[in-house]
Amino acid sequence: MNDHDILDRFEELEAGRILGDLDSDEIKEWEKLSADPRCKTDLSLELTAAALDAEFLGNQHAGLPEELLKSLHEGMAEFVSPHPEKEVVIRPAAWQGLLASPKTGWAIAALFAVLLAARSFVEKTPAGLENPVVTAPDKLSPLEARDSLISEAGDLIKSKFGGTEDFKQMSGTVVWSDELQEGYMSLTNLPANDPDANQYQLWIVDPDRDEKPVDGGVFDISASDGTAIIPIRNPLVVTRPQAFVITLEQPGGVVVSKQEVVVALAKTS
């Protein structure tokens, strides 16, 4: 690829980055090209977008200036011409004259289209709903999440925990789905721990993945827990768990357990 092709490709990726439509592969390509001294970034379009965003979205009643809207509508035919005579290439150096130029290409057209859609939404909002409150969906509790997994997973594994000599009073179950990579432990009568002194840690034995158990997460048990529902937090993919082992480790857990204090074990087969 010659210098001209490299610059053209970088400018295309840079415009896409600012408009937020790059996929993961394109982002990696942009990062590689941005380190090339031949490729210079220009912040003009990014600053323009930020300024318009702050001006418009910061005051939803103000809308865009009428003069700007009029110019935009008059020039819109150029953006959507069905038979363009030639391709218009917008280079970063030209972004500095973005608002003044009547031929700004697809990048500014897309930017204004978003703002116009937002303006139209504000104008059509019924009285009394000018400031709609968007509420996030309620987060499931560990118990609700576990019950949901049990009802939905088609490959559910369920096993019982058995406590070791010093933890014989504890009981519990573990449910796990390979397909969803999700699981939960239900633990009863597990002694409360002091997080400053030690913490419980789960290990997943999966011979198909590694000879060493996979870390399933560190957790605490309080005196008021009774039956505690603990989500499994595996950073690695587990494909065929043979056993789940709970140990007592130093605060923060360990990378590799010496298994000096094994609390409980649940075998899947």
Domain edges within the chain: 3-124, 142-267
Residue 189 is encoded by which pair of tokens?
């009568």
Beta bridge partners of 201: 218, 247
Alpha-carbon gap, residue 191 to 261, rounded angstroms? 13
Q: How far apart are the first and last CA of the chain?
A: 57
State yes or no: pLDDT of 228 exceeds 70.
yes
pTM > 0.85: no
Q: Which tens digits make up the pLDDT trace of 102-160?
A: 444 445 555 555 555 555 554 555 555 555 565 656 788 999 999 999 999 999 999 99
Per-residue pLDDT, 63: 52
Long-range contacts (CB closer than 8 Å, 24 or more residues apart) made by 102-108: 102/75, 102/78, 103/78, 106/79, 107/15, 107/18, 107/19, 107/45, 108/45
Q: Which tens digits make up the pLDDT trace of 35-56?
A: 877 776 665 556 555 655 555 5
Residue 147 is encoded by which pair of tokens?
């019950």
- Burial label, 237 (beta-carbon count in 10 A; 0-12, 13-18, 19+): exposed
Per-residue pLDDT, 43: 59
Average pLDDT, the chain: 76
State yes or no: pLDDT of 197 exceeds 70.
yes
**For residue 61, what pLDDT band results from cuts at 50, 70 and 90?**
very low
Question: pLDDT: is 181 or 29 the higher one?
Answer: 181
Q: 267 near 243, Cβ under 8 Å? A: yes
Question: pLDDT: is 66 or 198 the higher one?
Answer: 198
Beta bridge partners of 163: 264
